[in-house]
């Protein structure tokens, strides 16, 4: 069994994989040392672990995991991936973006894929049918746009996403909600449309905290995959097992 751990700024996510299928998911807001060592002690049949983190890896945690398990990988710029990474500034590439693209490649091998991660920022990343990661673009996410309108103006209120919105707002609240939400929806659809002109077989995957909300309002068909990063990390782990053993 594989244990996949994704350590973010506010939350730690763990996924258990067997034969490339997710068995269970665990989330925590506690410290990574406590959470991960607890998982390892409870599930003794864990054979391999991969960890991706936005923070430094505590040396105590590294030593503890390596003592108990056959293989522990820490996802960084040196690890081998099944994708040819053609991004020019590899040192500044977020590992979650690359992992999500590996996940897309796992689900749709040998196919052109666009991965949209709708979180604090919204990222668009492209993987070719030749298993090459080319890059993409980064834009402000949904809630960041609401916050920016409030922060950079004197009178506009700070609002939250709302399922009830129209093309034309009849008051200031409706106008803000309409502008922010439709603006992002139009942006995503336009990006997809333009990429489809070059790649007619394009498969679009969306993930992230606002993915469910946005996917319901897009005119383009998208595949909602909340666990695409975990799927990608498992793919990277399996790839390294293959080339090492």
Q: At what angle do helices 228-244 and 95-107 cross, to 10 degrees?
A: 80
Smallest CA-to-CA distance from 91 within 112, 108, 76, 109 is with 76
Please say whether the beta carbons of 142 and 180 come within 8 A: yes
Segment (H or E) for 140:
strand 132-140
Q: What is the pLDDT of residue 90?
A: 87
Query: Which residue is catalytic, options 96, 117, 125, 210?
Result: 96
Please say whether the beta carbons of 196 and 202 come within 8 A: yes
3-state secondary structure of 53: strand
Alpha-carbon separation of residue 199 from 113, 134, 204 (angstroms): 9, 14, 11
Query: What order do you get walking across the sheet with 223-224 strand by strand?
Result: 84-85, 132-140, 121-127, 113-118, 203-207, 223-224
Alpha-carbon separation of residue 56 from 5, 9, 64, 155, 219 (angstroms): 14, 11, 16, 41, 41
Give the chain's residues under pLDDT 50: none
Smallest CA-to-CA distance from 235 within 98, 91, 141, 128 is with 98
Smallest CA-to-CA distance from 100 within 211, 188, 185 is with 211
Confidence (pTM): 0.90
Length of the chain: 245
Q: Which domains does the chain have, with CATH numbers?
A: 1-74 (3.30.420.40), 101-228 (3.30.420.40)
Q: What is the pLDDT of residue 2?
A: 93
CB atoms within 10 A of CB 133: 25
Q: What is the pLDDT of residue 8?
A: 75
Is 223 a known active-site residue? Answer: no
Q: What is the pLDDT of residue 91?
A: 85
């Amino acid at each position: 069994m594989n244990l996949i751990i994704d350590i973010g700024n506010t939350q730690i996510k763990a996924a258990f994989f067997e034969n490339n299928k997710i068995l269970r998911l665990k989330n925590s807001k506690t410290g990574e040392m406590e959470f991960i060592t607890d998982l390892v002690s409870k599930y003794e049949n864990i054979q391999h672990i991969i960890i991706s983190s936005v923070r430094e890896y505590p040396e105590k945690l590294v030593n503890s995991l390596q003592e108990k398990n056959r293989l522990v990988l820490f996802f960084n710029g040196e690890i081998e991936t099944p994708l040819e990474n053609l991004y020019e500034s590899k040192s500044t590439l977020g590992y979650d973006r690359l992992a999500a693209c590996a996940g897309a490649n796992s689900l749709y091998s040998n196919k052109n894929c666009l991965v949209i991660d709708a979180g604090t920022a919204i990222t668009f990343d492209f993987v070719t049918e030749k298993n090459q990661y080319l890059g993409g673009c980064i834009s402000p996410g949904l809630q960041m746009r609401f916050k920016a309108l409030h922060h950079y103006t004197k009178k506009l209120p700070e609002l939250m996403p709302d399922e009830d919105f129209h093309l034309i707002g009849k008051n200031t609240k409706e106008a803000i909600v309409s502008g922010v939400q439709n603006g992002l929806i139009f942006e995503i659809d336009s990006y997809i449309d333009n990429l489809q002109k070059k790649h007619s077989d394009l498969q679009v995957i969306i993930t992230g905290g606002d993915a469910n909300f946005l996917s319901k309002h897009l005119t383009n068909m998208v595949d909602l995959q909340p666990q695409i990063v975990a799927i990608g990390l498992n793919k990277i782990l399996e790839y390294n097992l293959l080339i090492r053993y």
